C-alpha cells in the first residue's frame, strides 16, 4: 500500500489536523475505557516532538447533525491530558469562530481537541463546504482512525483531498498488519471465521476463499454448513434457507483449492446458560432438543494442527458461545495456541472484529497476537475486499505528489 507517513515530514510550527477515533465507552459522563485514547498517543507524541500544533478531530456517538450535550467530547479532555502528560485545550465547535480562535491561540507542541464532528450534518454527508471549513484550520492532515476509514465522511475522505495527507502511526500499523495478513502474506495462510450468521458474512467468505489456503468455519454459522451437508442440527440456530448458498461456498472453496475446515465434533446443551450440562457429540448425534454451542475437542485439535502448518493466520469471530462457560473452551484453546505460535515467531496472527476482540480478551491473549484490530466495521469491509474511502484517499494523496 502506498501512502505517506510522518517519517521525515517537516511539521514544526504547522497546524496538524489529526483524525482520531475517540468514540470511547462512557459511564455517567466519564470515559470508562481509554484504549482508543492510548492508540492515538504515538501520533500525538511524534507531532509534538516535531513542533507541530496538534488539532484533534473526532466523533462521538450518533447525534445526527445536531448538537447533543450528552455527546460532547469534552469528557475526553482530562483523561487524554493525563495520558499525554500535558494540557489539552478544548474548543466547543470544530469549525467557525470558536475553532479558529482556539487554533490561533496555540503554540508549537500544543494539543487541542475540537468538538464532535457529527454535530454538523456536513460531516457524514462529506459536504465540500464543511470539509473546506475544517481545512481552514490546518496546514496538513493526518488520518489516524482506521476504524472510520470505511466511511466517506468529510474528516476521513474530504480533508485528505484538500491538505497534504499522511497516515498516522496507528493507521500505519493497522495497514501494515492487514497487508501482511492478506495483501502479500507468508504462506500457507489460514483463516478462522466464526459468529452466528452466514448471511452477514457472505462477501467475507467468498473473498477469503480466493486468498486463503485453508478456512475454518465455526460458531453458529457452521451449523448452516453442517445442515447443508445433510447433518441434523437439532434445535441449534441455523439459517436453513441458506443451505444452497453454503453448498455454493463449499464448491467455490474446492475450485479455489482452499481447504474448508468444518466442525467434526460439537458440544451441545439444551440451552446456553451457565451451569447447564454440556455434552460432546459426534456429528449426527444431536438430539432434537439440543443446541450446538461450541466446537468439540477433535475440531479444536484439527484447527490447532492447521495453525502449526500455517505461516499466517487471520481471525474473525468466535467458535462458540464464548461468553458463557463451558462453551468458551474451543475459542479459548484455539486462541491461546495461536498466541503461543505468534509469541514464538512461528505465526503472523492478525485478528479483528468486536466479538473477536472480546473473545481474545476473555482468553487473555489480546497482547500476544501479532496484531489485533479494534476497528470493527472497517476491518470487516477490508476482509471482504472492499475499497475503504479513507484509505483510498490517502493513497490518492500520495500518488498526487509522486
- Catalytic residue numbers? 36, 197, 354, 377
Q: Of 161, 138, 165, which is closest to residue 15 (Cα–Cα)?
A: 138
Q: Is residue 397 within 8 Å of residue 391, measured between CB atoms?
A: no
**How many Cβ atoms from other residues are within 10 Å of residue 281's Cβ?**
16
- Tell me the C-alpha distance between 141 and 5, whole Å: 11
Three-state DSSP string of 77-91: HHHHHHHHCCCCEEE
Cis, peptide link before residue 326, omega less than 30° from 0: yes
Alpha helices (runs of H) in 147-201, residue ranges in sequence order: 169-178
**How many Cβ atoms from other residues are within 10 Å of residue 151's Cβ?**
21
User: H or E stretch including 30?
Assistant: strand 30-31
DSSP 294-328: EE-HHHHHHHHHHHHH-SEEEEES-SS-TTSTTTT
Cell of 345: 515467531
- Tell me the C-alpha distance between 80 and 74, whole Å: 10
Residues 6+ apart with CB under 8 A from 53: 13, 14, 15, 16, 103, 106, 107, 108, 109, 110, 112
Cell of 202: 457472505
**How many Cβ atoms from other residues are within 10 Å of residue 308's Cβ?**
12
Cell of 307: 495453525
- Residue position matching grid coordinates 502528560: 85
- Tell me the C-alpha distance between 302 and 221, whole Å: 18
Amino acid at each position: 500500500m502506498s501512502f505517506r507517513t510522518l517519517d521525515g515530514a517537516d511539521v514544526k510550527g504547522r497546524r496538524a489536523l489529526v483524525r482520531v477515533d475517540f468514540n470511547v465507552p462512557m459511564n455517567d459522563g466519564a470515559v470508562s475505557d481509554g484504549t482508543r485514547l492510548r492508540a492515538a498517543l504515538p501520533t500525538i507524541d511524534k507531532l509534538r516532538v516535531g513542533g507541530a500544533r496538534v488539532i484533534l478531530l473526532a466523533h462521538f456517538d450518533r447525534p445526527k447533525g445536531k448538537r447533543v450535550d450528552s455527546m460532547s467530547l469534552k469528557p475526553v479532555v482530562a483523561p487524554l491530558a493525563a495520558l499525554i502528560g500535558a494540557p489539552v485545550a478544548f474548543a466547543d465547535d470544530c469549525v467557525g469562530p470558536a475553532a479558529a480562535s482556539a487554533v490561533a491561540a496555540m503554540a508549537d507542541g500544543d494539543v487541542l481537541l475540537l468538538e464532535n464532528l457529527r454535530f454538523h450534518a456536513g460531516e457524514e454527508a462529506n459536504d465540500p463546504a464543511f470539509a473546506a471549513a475544517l481545512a481552514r484550520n490546518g496546514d496538513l492532515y493526518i488520518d489516524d482512525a482506521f476504524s472510520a476509514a470505511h466511511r466517506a465522511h468529510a474528516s476521513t475522505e474530504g480533508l485528505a483531498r484538500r491538505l497534504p495527507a499522511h497516515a498516522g502511526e496507528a493507521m500505519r500499523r493497522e495497514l501494515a498488519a492487514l497487508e501482511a495478513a492478506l495483501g502479500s502474506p507468508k504462506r500457507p495462510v489460514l483463516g478462522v471465521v466464526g459468529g452466528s450468521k452466514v448471511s452477514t458474512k457472505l462477501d467475507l467468505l467468498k473473498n477469503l476463499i480466493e486468498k486463503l489456503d485453508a478456512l475454518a468455519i465455526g460458531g453458529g454459522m457452521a451449523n448452516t454448513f453442517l445442515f447443508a451437508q445433510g447433518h441434523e442440527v437439532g434445535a441449534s440456530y441455523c439459517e436453513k434457507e441458506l443451505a444452497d448458498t453454503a453448498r455454493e461456498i463449499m464448491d467455490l472453496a474446492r475450485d479455489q483449492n482452499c481447504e474448508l475446515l468444518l466442525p467434526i465434533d460439537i458440544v451441545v446443551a439444551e440451552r446456553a446458560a451457565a451451569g447447564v450440562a454440556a455434552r460432546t457429540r459426534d456429528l449426527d448425534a444431536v438430539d432434537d432438543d439440543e443446541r450446538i454451542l461450541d466446537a468439540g475437542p477433535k475440531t479444536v485439535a484439527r484447527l490447532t494442527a492447521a495453525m502449526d502448518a500455517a505461516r499466517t493466520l487471520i481471525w474473525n469471530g468466535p467458535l462458540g458461545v464464548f461468553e458463557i462457560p463451558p462453551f468458551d473452551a474451543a475459542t479459548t484453546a484455539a486462541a491461546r495456541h495461536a498466541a503461543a505460535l505468534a509469541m514464538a515467531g512461528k505465526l503472523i496472527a492478525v485478528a479483528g472484529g468486536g466479538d473477536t476482540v472480546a473473545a481474545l480478551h476473555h482468553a487473555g491473549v489480546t497482547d500476544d497476537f501479532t496484531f489485533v484490530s479494534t476497528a470493527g466495521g472497517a476491518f470487516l469491509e477490508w476482509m471482504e475486499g472492499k475499497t475503504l474511502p479513507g484509505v483510498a484517499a490517502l493513497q490518492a494523496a500520495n500518488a498526487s505528489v509522486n
